[in-house]
Amino acid sequence: MSEHFKGRYEVEFKYRLSSRVQFLSRLKSMSPEIMLEDNLEHDRYFDLPAGELKGENKSVCIRNMQPSGIKLWIVKGPEADRCEAVDITDAEKACSMLQTMGFERVLEMKKIRSIYFLGEFHVTVDRLEGIGDFAELAIMTDDEHRLAGYRQQLLELAATLGLDSSQLETRSYRELQANSNSLSD
């Protein structure tokens, strides 16, 4: 896993893109390092039967990315900035292990994802079918004291990339997907 994704805390801002093409053009004019482009991410979220994790603002996700072959076990929460991920070799086995421990699969989500690095920050561009295009600007750290400074730097980066507060999306992809599913039921 890249050094960009190491740390217990993640400062992240997510923006709904009005034009994916314009955003990518502006981003690429800044000569980012490309980690991967147009990978299919398959996320499977798990919770205990009574929804205890959701109630505690926590989530457990097993992610499989293709064609990169990256497989991750991701835990977020309970604090908004708390996020830890670890590389795994067998996503199917990890899902089976969670189910054996009593967890239930509560959501599956697929997205097309590209990841770029601008200095110490990572910029993720996502397309979620039926939901839209998004850009996430983020950094991970183990230093809790740097979180406020990183928030400010990310807001400045967003402005440089042509993003503004009217595009800010505070709901997680999980929430957006759940809302989308309930609208289509």
- Which domains can be identified in the chain, with CATH numbers? 3-184 (2.40.320.10)
**Phi and psi based region of residue 140 (left: phi greater than 0; alpha: psi -120 to 50; beta: remaining):** beta
What residues form DSSP beta bridges with 47?
A: 104
Q: What is the mean pLDDT of the chain?
A: 92
Record the tokens describing residue 113, joined without a space.
């994802």
**What percentage of the chain reaches a pLDDT higher than 70?**
95
**What percentage of the chain reaches a pLDDT higher than 90?**
79
Residue 184 has pLDDT above 80, yes or no: no
pLDDT at 63: 96
- Site of tokens 């009574």: 50
Among all residues, which ones are annotated catalytic? 45
pTM reported for the whole predicted model: 0.83
Residue 1 has pLDDT above 60, yes or no: no
pLDDT at 185: 46
pLDDT at 81: 82
Determine the average pLDDT of the residues in 54-60. 94
Structure confidence by residue, pLDDT tens digits, 123-164: 999 999 889 999 999 999 889 899 999 999 999 999 999 999
pLDDT at 14: 97
Alpha-carbon distance 5 to 165, whole Å?
A: 25
